Amino acid sequence: MAMKKKRYALVVDSRKCINCKACVVACKAENNVPIGNFRNRINEERKGEYPKLSINFEPEQCHHCAEPSCVRVCPTGASWQRKDGIVLVNYDECIGCRYCMVACPYDARYFNEEQGVVDKCTLCSHRVDKGNVPACVETCPSKVRVFGDLEDTSSRIHELLATRRYRVKEPQTGNGPQLYYLL
């Protein structure tokens, strides 16, 4: 039997985000991210002046783009994309030229000084392959992130994107970002 095509993605309901940074901590613990580096972050946007003001928290990480420019520019093929859409770095092939970091419109990658290679969010592929959700998704107390397979029409993520309004960041770079922000 042929395997059904998969396309993993994240939907972010940023209005639910309380900036507790549990996702950042969970990611660092799960993936052993070096001190000073992060695979995900929470952008803060403040608007207005007291008493009329608002603050918006917006979690961000690798968008696991449909047409990832990091994969395109990589001279050795170390940056690659799985069939299910997850963008990964093959650490044995990475020479540390950092072209992918320059080419990423979302600053989603970091340079691992110790190993001399580029690293990034893996969408916790090791967990996903066992049927679990990424650590950032699991730990979030306010359920900001929804992880799922866009090809699976019965999934929650499919339902959200079908019924809610959303946006993606900087689509004009042509990367086809797959991190969906609900409005």
Query: Closer CB to another protein, residue 154 or residue 172?
Result: 172
CA angle at residue 102 from 7 to 171, to 5 degrees?
45
85 neighbors 178 (Cβ within 8 angstroms): yes
Please tell me whether residue 94 binds another protein under the rule CB under 8 A.
yes
Please tell me whether residue 111 binds another protein under the rule CB under 8 A.
yes
- d(CA 140, CA 173) in angstroms, rounded, equals 30
CB 34, min distance to another protein, A: 13
Distance between start and end Cα atoms, the chain: 39
Hey, what are 141's tokens? 């107390």
Binding residue for another protein, selected from 29, 116, 129, 156, defined by CB under 8 A? 116
Query: Closer CB to another protein, residue 15 or residue 126?
Result: 15
114 φ/ψ angles, rounded to the nearest 5 degrees: -65, -45
Binding residue for another protein, selected from 97, 160, 168, 182, defined by CB under 8 A? 97
Residues contributing to the site for another protein (CB under 8 A): 69, 72-77, 93-99, 101-107, 111-113, 115-118, 169-170, 172-175
